Amino acid sequence: MAHSNKQFIINLVIASLISLALVSFSMAPAYLFLIKNNWLMITIGFVIYALEAWGLYWLYRHTARVRHYQVATLKSRVNIAQLGTVIIAMLTMVVLIIVDLKLSAMLNIPETSNSRSLAWMLGEAPLPMTVSVVIFSPICEELIFRGIFFSYALTNQYNHRNYQIIAVVINSLIFASVHVDANWEPWIYYTLMGGILGTTYLLAKRDIRLNILVHMGTNLAVFALAAMS
């Protein structure tokens, strides 16, 4: 048992390092839009994004196969329980976003450096950056943080509920660490967001398509609610 727990901790550390390494490059194509916001750079950026998404999906499937874990394919059917999980996750996300917006305004909490950078990038290249944030970023982040992370950390040997809870907590903290700086409230917000996405992935039978859908809907909801506030 001690050896098993030790190996699980090693798996978590390696999965975390892999996720951090991959996510550091995931937004790289978006910076092409800032060099020159024209059709050529936009096309090149989106082509690179598409290749990146394909590469991450291949790595996700390869990792799951090597770690002897079955995951949903692009052609897998979605059942009612999975759809219910997605709906609950989206509603929870919307509530979380509203609470975060109200709390930030009430306590006068400054934006994170990530939010400021993103707002600046959206101002410089609105259309391509919106597509990047709503479509490509959720695809890449879910493949990295949920797909690859959990495929490596939670093999069949570690599919017990206790291991799952620990993996979700660690995954949430890693997810928050790449989105926020020192302010406490954004840390809580992004940690909870990561927890919802991690739980959704496991409850939805590791169907990465559903997680991508929830993440896309969340980013779109952030835009809509921020515009209305």
What are the tens digits of pLDDT across the range 142-160?
999 999 999 989 876 777 8
pLDDT mean over 81-91: 95
Confidence of residue 31 (pLDDT cuts 50, 70, 90): confident
Q: What is the reported pLDDT for 134?
A: 94
Q: At what angle do helices 80-106 and 184-203 cross, to 10 degrees?
A: 180
pLDDT given for residue 47 in this prediction: 95
The rounded Cα 187 to chain-centroid distance in angstroms is 15
CB hemisphere CA count around 143 (13 angstroms)? 25
CA pair distance 88, 159, nearest whole angstrom: 23
Contact 202, 214 (CB under 8 A): no
pLDDT per residue as tens digits for the range 163-205: 999 999 999 999 999 888 767 778 999 999 999 999 999 999 8
Q: Which residues contact 177 (CB under 8 A, 6 or more apart)?
A: 20
Task: State pLDDT tens for residues 132-143.
Answer: 999 999 999 999
